[in-house]
Structure 1
Amino acid sequence: MLPSLRIRQYSISSSSLWNSEVVTLTVDILNTPALSGVVQYYGVTSNYLSSLKEGNRISCNVRASNLAFHPPEDTKTPIVMIAAGTGIAPFCGFVQERAEQSVCGREIGRTILSYGCR
């Protein structure tokens, strides 16, 4: 018998200032040759999520992030964010938050996001 799949945790990649009723996830769909080179390897959760259609519902839990992990309260403070491919999601939310704050007329410090992946 196979063991149960581990819970998959994803970071929300949107800002509530953009839309307080919608959250987005940033997910890389895993579909690559298996190490054996014989068959394809499909990520279970990423392919499940990619198969959903608009209006589909999923069961999930939302947990608060680490209290220290958030953009600075002073919007004029510059921020530099560096992420591996898997860590980009919360930073997308930070960038979106700053864009929405700018639309509201706030002065925004320089905001730089650098990322990389395979």
Structure 2
Amino acid sequence: MPTATYDGVTVPVDDEGFFTDPARWTEPMAAQLARASGVGTLPDRHWQVIRFMRTAYGTKGTGPTVRVLGKTSGVSVKELYQLFPKGPAKTAAKIAGIPKPRGCI
């Protein structure tokens, strides 16, 4: 199984770089993941989405889709694409240290 190192900690990831064990993720890792994903810095609106993704994963076992994010996270779909231009659900999931949401290609 592949691994990656963030914030000095080696973690197991899948072939696309998504965490396979979300419990290994820490908030300091998010900054490195964001830079690697082309997002840059993480202001409060990013953190709102990231924390929402982790909570949704913990509750349902998968990250939410863009549609669900736009309806329930408090961040509109339009803003999600501004925050995470390369695909909000997929990019936010990677930064949040959860597996890729179902339905993301």
Question: Which has the larger share of helix?
Answer: 2
Q: Specify which structure has the higher proportion of strand.
A: 1
Q: TM-score if structure 1 supplies the norm length?
A: 0.22
Structure number with larger C-alpha Rg: 1
